[in-house]
């Protein structure tokens, strides 16, 4: 891994062309911009190694199938482009985004058959480590889910998530936790949610409303290795009020305990033992431990 010069910018790769991130360009006609007609992934590199790359690329391929974006050649070239972009950045620890759009064409809802996908890979310095949030916990607020009905697709169209997260922030909270109309837990605006009660860890089952988080899957595996009983199933908003622990899980934030939910302390109002054990196990796993 080359030593990175301090003034070398973050790296982008657009359709195979590498450049500093601020020099990278896509067309104003790109359907990712015009329609949100695009899917994406977020990955983390730790010590120069990308964590769970196969799981992320599998999910990207699934998202592509869901939106009928047929791009086998582009998907095949991605691992090489990601590795090269990471190497060019020189970062040992990085956040990597992939955006795959249906491509650029004159604006009309139906895309022409001749359209070619746009593939964007960016490698950025890790600006936020969330160490304070992981150690001390955060507050979260519940909202009715206002997103579309296909949240298993990792779509770049995140307007509802942005607005929900902003509403949470307006109330001084870190995350918006989303519920359906019946009051069943779905996930966070940018995380999967776990609840611990009676020593058992629970998270909502996968459905079209829930993103199959890579961190979620990793935590379910780690819990089993740690002897923490874990289940997938229904969780109501009422049950969350009685939970001993609530945890948020995502690639960028790893594991963050929720210590205040809807303005009331969760458990004793401090990060609990399951959050602590899972965070430790996760941080060891991502560095190959
Ligand atoms: C809506 C939503 N759910 C869940 C997650 C967690 O997914 P992952 O663990 O794969 O990062 C994210 C991450 O960005 C997300 O945006």
Candidates 62, 156, 161, 211: which one to mutate for ligand 1, based on the most atoms within 8 Å of Cβ? Answer: 211
Q: Measured between alpha carbons, how far is 230 from 249 in angstroms, rounded to an integer?
A: 15
Residue 289 is predicted with a pLDDT of 83
What pTM did the predictor assign? 0.96
At 124-170, the pLDDT tens digits run 999 889 999 999 999 999 999 999 999 999 999 999 999 999 999 99
Residue 56 structure tokens:
């992320």
- Give the closest residue (by CA) to ligand 1 atom 2: 190
Task: Indicate if the pLDDT at residue 76 is higher than 90.
Answer: yes
**What is the signed CA dihedral for 89, 92, 95, 97, rounded to 10 degrees?**
50
Which residues are designated catalytic?
154
**Ligand 1 atom closest to the CA of 217, numbered from 1:** 9
Sheet containing strand 118-125, edge to edge, reads: 17-20, 11-14, 118-125, 94-101, 38-46, 49-50
Q: Measured between alpha carbons, how far is 30 from 231 in angstroms, rounded to an integer?
A: 42
- Give the closest residue (by CA) to ligand 1 atom 4: 191
Ligand 1 pocket residues where CB is under 6 Å: 42, 187, 190-192, 211, 213-216, 249-251
């Amino acid at each position: 891994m080359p030593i990175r010069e301090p003034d070398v910018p973050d790296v982008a790769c657009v359709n195979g062309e590498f450049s500093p991130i601020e020099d990278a360009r896509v067309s104003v006609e790109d359907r990712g911009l015009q329609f949100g007609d695009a899917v994406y992934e977020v990955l983390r590199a730790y010590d120069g190694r990308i964590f769970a790359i196969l799981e992320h690329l599998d999910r990207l391929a699934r998202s592509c199938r869901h939106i009928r974006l047929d791009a086998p050649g582009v998907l095949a070239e991605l691992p090489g482009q990601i590795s090269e972009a990471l190497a060019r950045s020189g970062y040992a620890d990085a956040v990597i985004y992939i955006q795959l759009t249906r491509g650029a064409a004159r604006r009309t809802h139906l895309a022409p058959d001749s359209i070619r996908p746009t593939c964007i890979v960016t490698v950025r310095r890790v600006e936020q480590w969330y160490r304070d949030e992981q150690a001390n916990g955060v507050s979260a607020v519940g909202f009715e889910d206002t997103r579309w009905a296909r949240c298993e697709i990792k779509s770049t169209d995140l307007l509802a998530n942005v607005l929900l997260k902003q509403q949470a922030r307006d109330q001084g909270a870190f995350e918006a936790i989303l519920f359906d109309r019946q009051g069943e837990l779905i996930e966070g605006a940018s995380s999967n949610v776990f609840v611990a009660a009676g020593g058992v860890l629970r998270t909502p089952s996968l459905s079209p409303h829930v993103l199959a988080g890579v961190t979620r899957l990793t935590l379910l595996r780690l819990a089993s290795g740690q002897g923490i009983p874990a289940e997938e199933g229904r969780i109501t908003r009422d049950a969350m009020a009685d939970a001993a622990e609530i945890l948020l899980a995502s690639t960028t934030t790893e594991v963050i305990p929720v210590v205040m939910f809807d303005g009331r302390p969760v458990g004793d109002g401090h990060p609990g033992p399951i959050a602590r054990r899972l965070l430790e196990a996760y941080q060891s796993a991502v560095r190959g431990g």
